[in-house]
Chain A
Amino acid sequence: MSGFLVLQIINYISLGVFVCLFICRTISIARLPSSLRWELYPIPGRNGEGREGKGDSNRFGRLMQELLYMAKEILLFLTYFKRRKSYWYFVYPLHISLYLYILWTFFMFAGALALVKGFNITPESPECAVVFLFYATCYVGGLSFLMMVLSTAGLTILRLVDKDLKLYTTPVIYFNLLFALAISSTGFVNWLWFDKAFTVYREYLKNLITFKPVSDLHPLMVINLLLTSLFIIYVPCSRMMHFVTKYFLYHKILWATDHLPKDSRQNRELSLLLHKTISWAAPHISTGKTWEEVASENRLFSQGGSTGEKGNKNR
């Protein structure tokens, strides 16, 4: 088996593993039980009235305002801009470079499909869409790699020199940055010196799509493709999944002000958890009882009057 074939197999596997890990991780986060309400304001669409219905947008309006807020945040990183500009100068280009990378991947995939259909991706093509694809791939890809090189290098240096950041930067953070730097720098050099139109990349992708083996690749491209495959597997296992957790933290916790509907899945799950035995060991908690039993020890029952005394004996 040739080395190139191994690389292709790794590419397939990495994509499969990424999809599986991503889905599993997302499901495991979604399945964490609903917490107590833990909202935090400002919440888009809420106007500080403190009573439902007055001043606040309706459900749909709220959702739109939340999405608008998030879209602005994702596209402009306004919180970083307002609160920590020195960090924004690097973290913003880094994320823009990632968005461009995704866009570039899309263009590459479209180009590869066009190749399969028999089009030649050249600036001389009579098809406007193909010409657009040619130039868009070149510029978006090149810009993405360049921005990623500068921003990951910049962030690494910033974390080494800024005393606040340095103290809290663990090896894994440097590892993540250097990993991204390695991918982007190999991609950038490859683009700049060997494959300015991403012709070889596109051909490689076409072969991946059509399950055909590759016969020749520049070593730098092999390194870039290998690192990219490993990175794809690594992303769902790392803190970089924050693009998913941000949704849960905001929409399901910080902005979640609604009551859980009685028949909702979350409510049913909470009922089950309330009936599970707890094991906290402090003297005021009756270990071995269920959450609900411990919490109800002092509630007032209209038939029997106060149960305060009974509850107190447990302490």
Chain B
Amino acid sequence: MVTLEIKDLIKLPPPLNQPLNEQQPLKLLTDEQSRRIDASLDGISAIGILKPGSQQEEEEIVRKFLGGIEKLLSEENNWTFLKPLTLSLKYCASCQTCSDACPVYTASGKQEIYRPTYRSEILRAIIQGYLKKKGLFNFGFTAKKVDLNWSTLARLAELSYRCTLCRRCAQACPLGIDNGLIAHEFRKVFSQELGIAPKELHQMGTVRQLDTGSSTGMRPKAFEDIRRFMEEEIEEKTGKKIAIPVDVKGADILLVHNAGEFVSWPENPEAFAILFDALGISWTLSSELAGYDAVNYGAWYDDFQLARIAMRHVSIAKDLKVNKIVVGECGHAHKATIVLADRLLPPDLAIPRISCLPVLEDIVLSGKLKLDPQRNNFPVTLHDPCNIVRMMGISQPQRRILRSICPQFVEMEPHGVDNYCCGGGGGFAVMNSLNFPDWRMAVAGRMKIKQIVETFRDTGNPETKKYVCAPCSNCKAQLRDLLEYYKVEEKINVAYIGLAELIVNAMPDLKEPFLP
């Protein structure tokens, strides 16, 4: 349908407008992959959807898909999102006000297939053309016609993974129509009816998390090893001997981190341990299966996986008899555990679930902890994770923290609830199959890298290290990849960091800087 070329994408500011980035072509699938996998949407494959072997198989998939759409519109199967879905499908004014709010559509140079309303119009067309009784006022009158066949389905499946679910489009809609939700609902039909989902989200994501305890594959034994490692590292860095509590019954707080932190950025959970210890907070981690991994990829593609993991997290907290769950620096875990789970949990599992950001703010602003902002005297900007800020409204605690501990804190534009997604939202940050990472970097993350470079444009000396503070694991993963892809660290010396690390770095009694 579309062949993406770098020259068609929006231009990047200097120094990213150098030939290296601007002429880097988007990788194509290999011939062998192309034979097996359908990538006819835009030459990119996020799911690796296999071509069917026979006409019969094609027809069966189409039949099942239509059955899935019917289920999507039924109360018993989809009560979870039926109301916003129905209203968004029926009452969109087709004014296209949402289009320019979408970072993917804008960054792509306004490729029609990425327009927020594009997939919604297809869903309307499928419902009108294939599920409603035909009549003068149905076919082609209220929706465009679409030819539903296997090829359309394969493209739709891929298209549902060209939206980061950041919901900037819904924010821009004067009628409250949510085209981001429609992408989410498409993903659900493919997963819940056809068993089609990116392997990083399903088999290696939610399934693995429920099987082994974490989407990283970390089992309780490995978690225990990492805990010991972190204790040693804390002692090395701070000279303090801190015991990281695990499975402490009756603690006030059960702290749940994205397990990616333990694997890739242990300094983040270490920072939490240092801060909680310094304030004498009663807290614990859990070593139960999934209790040490806050992620819930179900939030992006499957309501049942979402519910299973949410219930598991909360039942672990209940079992530990803690007073509340505090979700660490992970955006989608915030939304899944605190917001989405709210109406899923049976009454016996109703337990307070809160964000770590107000907790960190209390620690910083309490005055009980000695902090020296001069230790963070370098340019710092803040990336607002969509799930925490636009979808939960938590925008101020992290700002007050940064203003008090980072003298050179500077805002991105736009910021807060209007901020751009990092490009790793909706599961993209962990999706690394085939040539999808190339698209994730070149298109999905383009607005963010542009924003970062523009923010630090006037900070002068390229030798000075600058930080993007991202209080979200998936955003950090995406930023790590983006900075590397665009060679931003080399060119203007920008790195990323979590919020808790910046707080600990400001502690004056540390032997050496805490930041890596």
Contacts and interface: CB of A to CB of B under 8 A. Distances in A.
Tell whether A and B belong to one assembly: yes
Interface of A: 29, 32-43, 46-51, 54-55, 73, 77, 79-80, 83-84, 87, 91, 164-165, 167-173, 175, 239, 241-242, 245-246, 248-250, 252-254, 257, 259-260, 262, 270, 273, 276-285, 291-292, 294-302, 306, 308, 311-312, 315
Contacts of B91: 239, 241-242, 245, 249
24 contacts: A32-B83, A35-B343, A36-B343, A36-B344, A39-B392, A41-B390, A41-B417, A49-B396, A77-B174, A80-B97, A246-B175, A249-B84, A253-B84, A260-B343, A270-B343, A273-B75, A281-B67, A284-B195, A284-B207, A295-B308, A296-B308, A299-B311, A299-B349, A312-B207
Interface stretch (B48-56, B351-359, B473-481): B351-359
Nearest to B176: A249
B141 A40 contact: no
B95 interface: yes
A79 B418 CA distance: 14
A282 B193 contact: yes
A84 B96 contact: yes
B37 interface: no
A277 B76 CA distance: 7
Given A37-B342, A39-B393, A170-B94, A242 B175 contact: yes
B94 to A, nearest CB: 5
Given A273-B75, A308-B211, A79 B94 contact: no
A296 B311 CA distance: 7
A91 B84 CA distance: 24
Given A38-B181, A249-B84, A312-B211, A300 B315 contact: yes
Contacts of A246: 175-176
Given A280-B77, A296-B346, A299-B349, 7 more contacts: A249-B178, A273-B76, A284-B305, A291-B79, A296-B308, A298-B210, A308-B290
B76 to A, nearest CB: 4
B79 A270 contact: yes
5 closest A-B pairs by beta carbon, nearest first, are A50-B394, A249-B176, A295-B307, A48-B395, A276-B76
B355 A50 contact: yes
A200 to B, nearest CB: 34
B423 interface: no
B195 A283 contact: yes
Contacts of A164: 96, 99
Contacts of A83: 97, 100-101, 172
B343 A300 contact: no
A205 B315 CA distance: 66
Contacts of A295: 304, 307-308, 311, 344
Contacts of A291: 76, 79
A165 B141 contact: no
A282 B195 contact: yes
Contact of B393 (A32, A35, A48, A175): A48
B144 interface: yes
A91 B397 contact: no
Contacts of A84: 95-97, 100
Contact of A168 (B117, B137, B394): B117
Interface in B167-205: 167, 170-178, 181, 191-195, 202
A170 to B, nearest CB: 6
Contacts of A38: 81, 84, 178, 181
Interface string B333-367: 00000011011101101000011011000000000
B394 A40 contact: no
B319 A302 contact: yes
Interface in B146-177: 167, 170-177
A301 to B, nearest CB: 7
B438 to A, nearest CB: 28
A253 B121 CA distance: 22
Contacts of B355: 50-51
Contact of B194 (A239, A242, A252, A282): A282
Given A47-B396, A77-B174, A35 B83 contact: yes
Nearest to B213: A308
A299 B308 CA distance: 7
B342 A259 contact: yes
Interface string B383-394: 000001111111
Nearest to B81: A35
B389 A41 contact: yes
Interface in B84-106: 84, 86-88, 90-97, 99-101
A48 B83 contact: no
Contact of B390 (A40, A249, A283): A40
Contacts of B347: 262
Given A172-B142, A283-B195, A298-B309, A50 B397 contact: yes
B175 A306 contact: no
B125 to A, nearest CB: 9
A253 B459 CA distance: 42
A173 B94 CA distance: 9
Contacts of B304: 280, 284-285, 294-295
A61 to B, nearest CB: 16
B170 A254 contact: yes
Interface centre among A40, A51, A239, A285 (most CB of B within 10 A): A40
Given A172-B142, A299-B312, A40 B170 contact: yes
A34 B354 contact: no
Contacts of A54: 358
Interface in B271-315: 288-290, 302-305, 307-309, 311-312, 315
Nearest to B137: A172
Nearest to A298: B308
Contacts of B388: 50
Nearest to B399: A48
Nearest to A167: B112
Count chain B CB atoms within 10 A of each CB in A46, A51, A172, A241 and give the residue with the most: A51
A300 B288 contact: yes
Contact of B308 (A49, A73, A297): A297
Nearest to A281: B193
B140 interface: yes
B318 interface: yes
Contacts of A165: 94-96
Most buried by A among B112, B175, B316: B175
Interface string B121-149: 10000000000000001001111100000
B79 A35 contact: yes
B394 A32 contact: no
A40 B391 contact: yes
B18 interface: no
B205 to A, nearest CB: 12
Nearest to A248: B87
A84 B117 CA distance: 15
B253 to A, nearest CB: 14
A79 B172 contact: yes
B80 interface: yes
Contacts of B142: 170-172
Nearest to B211: A312
B466 to A, nearest CB: 25
B375 interface: no
B285 to A, nearest CB: 15
A173 B95 CA distance: 11
B64 interface: yes
